[in-house]
Amino acid sequence: MSAESLLYSDAACDQAAALVGKCKGENLGLVTVEHCTGGLVSNCISAVPGAASVFDYGFIVNNEKAQTTLLEVSETVMFRQGIVSAPVARAMAEGAANHGSQNGVAGQRFLALAIAGRIGGQAGQAIQNSRAHMALALKTMSSPAHMRHIEHQFEADHPEKIRLRMVEAMLTFAVTTLEELAPRGIGLAT
């Protein structure tokens, strides 16, 4: 992909292109669910030429009701762990993967990317308390999801810079995870 984006870093554009290429190569449908990035991960992926052949849909869930209704995230887990937590990010990814596998083509495999985060502070000040939990789920119609999770801390002087760094981190996490799993056949076997 050409790194001609006015919004995303060259690294984010490159990772989005690599992700689309890997999904095509592995015959994976792609689903996203975003809590703190407002659709920016989906937008970056959608900007890749040919992304429509693998990118099925994305969810933007900014409140608990959307998470419980659309993705079947447990209210108990959200209450006990907090919305920005590893268990919630995993549940979001699994819920999105389940949507893909229920609504997709028979036998198709799905990769779901989820990000749940919090951005602290105000523009113009050093923002140091921002973090995101990122989860990835690989699923077929007949198998449970294979899950991965990572947590990131972010610092910047503007909330939008943090969101864009979250996008890059999410895409890098997805590509790196697929690269790690492919040689071992974990979750990617037909």
Domain assignment present for 27? yes
* Domain hosting residue 162, numbered range: 10-180
Q: What is the pLDDT of residue 59?
A: 92
Label residue 46 exposed, middle or buried (CB < 10 Å: 0-12, 13-18, 19+).
Answer: middle
Domain assignment present for 154? yes
Domain assignment present for 51? yes
Q: Are 167 and 44 in contact (CB under 8 A)?
A: yes
Q: Are 40 and 163 in contact (CB under 8 A)?
A: yes
Domain assignment present for 185? no
Domain assignment present for 189? no
Domain assignment present for 187? no
All residue ranges of the chain with pLDDT < 50 are: 1-3, 106, 188-190
Total domains, the chain: 1
How many Å apart are CA 75 and CA 79, to the nearest integer? 6
- What CATH number is associated with residue 172? 3.90.950.20
Domain assignment present for 188? no
What pTM was computed for the model? 0.87
Domain assignment present for 129? yes
Q: What is the pLDDT of residue 2?
A: 46
Q: Closest by alpha carbon to 134, among 111, 110, 157?
A: 111
- Residues in a beta bridge with 32: 58, 113
